[in-house]
Amino acid sequence: MGEGEEGDKFPPKTDEVTQESMKSARQLDFTGGSSDVEHSHSNQASSMAAASIPSPVVTVTRPIITSQAPPTVATPIPPPPQSQGIILHVPIRHPRPESPNSMPRPAGETRDGTPQKKKQCNCKHSRCLKLYCECFASGTYCDGCNCVNCFNNVENEPARRQAVESTLERNPNAFRPKIAASPHGGRDNREEVGDVVMLARHNKGCHCKKSGCLKKYCECFQANILCSENCKCLDCKNFEGSEVRQSLFHGEHSHNLAYLQHANAAITGAIGSSGFASAPPPKRRKGQEIFFNQGTKDSSTHRLGQANNGRTTSSQTGSRAGGNASLGPSKVVYKSLLANIIKPMDVKALCSVLVAVAGEAAKTLTEKRLANQKETSVASSVQDQGHVNNKAEKSGLEDSNADGSKGRSLSPETLALMCDERDTMLMVAASPNCSVEPTSQLPNGQDQVYAEQEKVVLTKFRDCLNRIISCGEVKESNCSMSRMDLDTPVQTTVRIDPVVQQAPVANGVSQTAKQPSQLNTTTPNTSSQTANGVSQTAKQPSQLTTTTTTPNTSSQTHLHKTPALSEKKDL
DNA sequence: GAGTTTGAAACT
DNA sequence: CAGTTTCAAACTC
């Protein structure tokens, strides 16, 4: 076998290697500036060599890149020519991280940062002078490895050096980190499940075909990063939002069987959607993506770039790239039925609406109250204290009016929310039988104002929730419908508006499904995704219009199912 | 622990 | 640049 082939070369004519070249290989500049190979960084390098050889733990995972970077692990390595941002100290090369869960760490370190033994290779045919060898690839000498006929040591420095050179000749970046990341991609990004992780990415990208990029065969997965547009993998499942991937992480990894099963199942495609909770979107297969998934439209497209076996459809690649620029691949994201209905901005908007409502209520009520006060002329000007948290205050209720009532009692609605939780209670809201006599605890009219205010606010909120529920139901039904006729036009109804890439994704349910017609209720028009949901939940225009709330709010306000399809344009 | 699978590296 | 071979890690049994 190859034994001879290369083996013969090594140890290459050692003589050829003059003393000069004897500078330990580590002195070489692997950084890609191959030209500099011989540089003069004897300092660190030499020391390293000397020290590291016998000593285990060569801390520097990628010592090689040293030329400019201090050997310390944490130090970022000078950006490669291609400059992809900061390079992690990650030795992504071969020195593969122990567990997929953890960001690759320097060879000498454990998760907690405590020193650890460097990984030992088991090379038999490469003499540890090729990148196949983890040690060699990481720029360290073999030490305590199980390799056979190893030349990756001081004794064979000449040969080693030769190997390094030839390797660099082939690929100037051979010893450079494969993973690039943004400054934020700190080291233990990992598992934010699709979060930080994406900050880093494989420079070259992987080319996995069968592992679904969910096994350590995959360099990306191994480094615990998502596949990026750089990858040319097939049937990749290592993308943000990948159910499979998420299940792996959520199920907490490698150790548990579930993980393995999921991974395998997912990879083989055997499980189809079943493996995952609900609305399992059909698994993607190489060339064809079933566009069942709403995400499809947008996000899916991202994925396509890759899923489609990487590349084929060149057109797609772009999309993905865009997504990742900073965050990494943006691919299909699994979300609950309400995922797109309730969005952060919607929540904000809702808050605004509620505030507005509260404000209005306060205004009205206080007016009343003032009127009463005049009569009673209660000098209780003690307007002090703290109902700081009081919604009323937030809403803009003038303190002046707000008088103390420290022991402010809770309104029936509030009590209901706090103690009862029974929907009915909420529904009944204002109804008298709600019991808890608010008045009973009300010192003077003030509390009543609050109570009224709460009532109004809570009622609004209740309405919103109901609408959300409705939306969810509609969506659900659509979902099921769309599933039934996957092939049918429904899918085709891809939303017209380009929209935000991320936005669209919803779990299995193609948002597309919801066509205005069907959803007459809420969904306005194409802008659907954004629209429906909470926003609609918000109040009715009529009530809020006056308020000076933010644009969002206003938009929401419009949402009443019926009338104004105007909906949230803003959103 | 042996055998198989996988994908990067090396080679053609 | 594409296809094939080699290699060692990852994985399975």
Nearest nt to the A126 alpha carbon by C1': C7
Proximity of residue A128 CB to strand C below 7 A: yes
* DSSP collapsed to 3 states, A272-284: CCCCCCCCCCCCC
Amino acid A342: pLDDT? 63
The per-residue pLDDT for range A125-159, each reduced to its tens digit, is: 999 999 999 899 988 889 888 898 899 998 888 88
Footprint of strand B on the protein (CB under 7 A): A 5-6, 93-94, 130-132, 137, 167, 170-171, 174, 178, 204, 206-213, 215, 217-219
Helix (H), strand (E) at residue A200: strand A200-202
Average per-residue pLDDT for chain A: 53
Any idea what the Cα angle at residue A132 is, between residues A5 and A142, rounded to 5°?
100
Amino acid A321: pLDDT? 38
Helix (H), strand (E) at residue A300: helix A299-307
Band (pLDDT 50/70/90 cuts) for residue A162 is: confident
CA separation, residue A413 to residues A393, A422, A469 (Å)? 18, 11, 20
The per-residue pLDDT for range A29-55, each reduced to its tens digit, is: 444 333 333 333 333 333 333 333 333
Nearest nt to the A133 alpha carbon by C1': C8
Proximity of residue A20 CB to strand C below 7 A: no
Residue A163 has pLDDT above 50, yes or no: yes
Q: How far apart are CA A571 and CA A563, in angstroms?
A: 18
- Å from the A170 CA to the B11 C1': 11
Task: Pick A549 or A205 by higher pLDDT.
Answer: A205
Q: How far apart are CA A140 and CA A336, in angstroms?
A: 47
Rounded average pLDDT over A68-77: 33
Residue A248 has pLDDT above 90, yes or no: no
Cβ–Cβ < 8 Å for A189, A183: no
Region for A227 from its dihedrals, namely left if φ exceeds 0, alpha if ψ lies in -120 to 50, beta otherwise: beta
Cβ–Cβ < 8 Å for A120, A145: yes
Residue A475: φ, ψ to 5°: -60, -40
Helix (H, G, I), strand (E, B) or coil at A177: coil
The per-residue pLDDT for range A184-193, each reduced to its tens digit, is: 433 334 344 4
Please state whether the peptide bond connecting residue A11 to the residue before it is cis, i.e. omega within 30 degrees of 0: yes
Proximity of residue A204 CB to strand C below 7 A: no
Nearest nt to the A137 alpha carbon by C1': B9
Rounded average pLDDT over A48-75: 35
Residue percentage of chain A with pLDDT more than 90: 4
Cβ–Cβ < 8 Å for A208, A234: yes
Task: Pick A174 or A344 by higher pLDDT.
Answer: A174
Proximity of residue A264 CB to strand C below 7 A: yes
Q: How far apart are CA A96 and CA A23, in angstroms?
A: 27
Region for A55 from its dihedrals, namely left if φ exceeds 0, alpha if ψ lies in -120 to 50, beta otherwise: beta
Residue A472 has pLDDT above 60, yes or no: yes
Proximity of residue A4 CB to strand C below 7 A: no
Residue A413 has pLDDT above 50, yes or no: no
The per-residue pLDDT for range A306-355, each reduced to its tens digit, is: 444 433 333 333 334 333 333 334 344 344 455 555 666 676 777 677 77
Amino acid A305: pLDDT? 41
Q: Tell me the CB-side half-sphere exposure of residue A401, using CA atoms within 13 A.
A: 24
Structure-token pair, residue A258: 């579930």
Task: Pick A382 or A513 by higher pLDDT.
Answer: A382
Proximity of residue A96 CB to strand C below 7 A: yes
Residue A77: φ, ψ to 5°: -90, 145
Most confident of A25-29, A110-114, A444-448: A444-448
Most confident of A27-31, A97-101, A118-122: A118-122
Proximity of residue A102 CB to strand C below 7 A: no
Amino acid A419: pLDDT? 40
Band (pLDDT 50/70/90 cuts) for residue A72 is: very low
Chain B nucleotides covered by protein, CB below 7 Å? 5-11
Q: How far apart are CA A239 and CA A300, in angstroms?
A: 11
Task: Pick A265 or A128 by higher pLDDT.
Answer: A128
Cβ–Cβ < 8 Å for A309, A286: yes
Most confident of A9-23, A356-370, A420-434: A356-370
Rounded average pLDDT over A225-242: 86
Nearest nt to the A131 alpha carbon by C1': B9
Residue A215 has pLDDT above 70, yes or no: yes
Structure-token pair, residue A259: 């993980």
Amino acid A312: pLDDT? 37
The per-residue pLDDT for range A473-525, each reduced to its tens digit, is: 766 666 555 544 443 433 333 333 333 333 333 333 333 333 333 333 333 33
Cβ–Cβ < 8 Å for A134, A97: no
Task: Pick A432 or A225 by higher pLDDT.
Answer: A225
Task: Pick A279 or A122 by higher pLDDT.
Answer: A122
Cβ–Cβ < 8 Å for A362, A449: yes
pTM of the model: 0.42
